[in-house]
Structure 1
Amino acid sequence: TTKVYSVAGILPRGSGLVSHRPFRAPHHSVSAAGLVGGGSTPRPGEVSLAHNGVLFLDELPEFHRDALEILRQPLEDGTVTVSRVAGSASFPSSIMLAAAMNPCPCGYLGHPTRACSCTPYAIERYLQRVSGPLLDRIDLHVEVAPVEYADLAGDSSGESSAAILRRVLAARAVQDTRYKGTGVTCNARLPSAMLRRVCRLAPDADRVLRGAFERMGLSARAYDRVLKVSRTIADLAGSERIEAEHVREAVQYRNLDRKYWYTA
């Protein structure tokens, strides 16, 4: 990460090292070169400046379509290659991508109390700005319901961040032990060659995944990602084997593209 920031000329003043994981949140008007890198003298883009950290894309459909499509290869390979006449340069891009968007231009499609004012054509055009292949590379699709007033004004609180952190650290410790000496750091970085050995399914879990694969028409890439997410859910639950309930939860995180993109 420090090398990337050094090449970009944005190392923190007075510091020789980047000591915190980066968080990058570019505006949706960013160009393709600004997002993935480019220029006459190749420079790293936002996806490389977020290396080992988080790249957050708010209002995802508002980004230029060509910029989003170029993201597909860096998300898959963890590296960006910028080629020019004088040569090429490769920059790392091992990131956690987080994105947010509305379900339609007005933002009220599916709202429980407010009617959507968009035409079907406007909704379809808006959603099609984000392609299926890009969605396929995103592990979790979470639809967030509007927050009720009582929840905002009430005194009740959910699980504390400290408690969640303890569960996450325990799951990461399990993964550290599992992948010791392999070069793999977590379930998300699991190569295909190790996937079947690490993600062992209980018989019921295999039947659930088979049914979801056939019913939802999942791609091979989505299948691998469901397995990895199931493995993480099992780790959080302290289970050595992936059970049916872990697969069911993981499959729920693939529903967003089926709900809107293939029915719009």
Structure 2
Amino acid sequence: MQLSTAFSSFLLLSSHALSQSIGYNCNPHCINPTIPTTNRNLTFGRHYAVLNLDLIGLVDSIANSTAGSAFINSTASWIDFIHAQNPPPLSIFSRVAFSGSRKPELGPKSPFTKVAASVTLAESQIYPAFKVDEQAGDVVLNKSRYYAGWGNPLETILRAQQIDTVILSGLTTSGVILNTVYTLYNLDYKVYVIANNTIQPPGNNAPEVYNAILEGIIPSLPADVITVEQARDAVKRSGPAIY
């Protein structure tokens, strides 16, 4: 669908203003957050968890692009920032992994086979730029479908730790992010997605898909899409986290 010239100009000006006002990196597009950047009251409370989803070796395929580099730097800095909190909140990493080399979770008629059949053991490991701090209590969960809690104790952990709010980063926007937003929203969690910290890999109309999900689908639930600057400020107002 072609945007009118006037509307395109409006979006360009709005994106420029947004990037200047909050330091948003605008890769691949300046997403307008669902919470105004002028709102200085955003907080995650004390019962929140940080979900870092599918930040695995596949990230290497986008590392040399402008948008990919910005995504990696923003997400890695966010993870380091969370680890620096005292005490650090619960951080959960998910990764695509299978029970054996023959990937028994993927049947010949499983639609997800087309997505994950080519994922190697090396590609299923957490990408080196993203640090897992086991001493801080970080958790790494294996999964065999898009949803971050598929076949693992994600929901058990969130309930046991009395979590009511989750903040999501991850690869990819249309995969683990969208599926996890929907599922945790339906389970009554307050869900935030950090726009800087998710990306749609190239191909299949990636920019349009990324924009539609973050500016249309997720806000319509409604769940919130925020910038990494807003997330950092909210953490500073929150807590100390209970974990």
User: TM-score w.r.t. structure 2 length?
Assistant: 0.26
User: TM-score w.r.t. structure 1 length?
Assistant: 0.25
Q: Which has the higher contact order (CA 8 A, sep 6+)?
A: 2
Q: Give the structure with higher Rg (CA).
A: 1
* Structure in which a larger fraction of residues adopt strand: 2
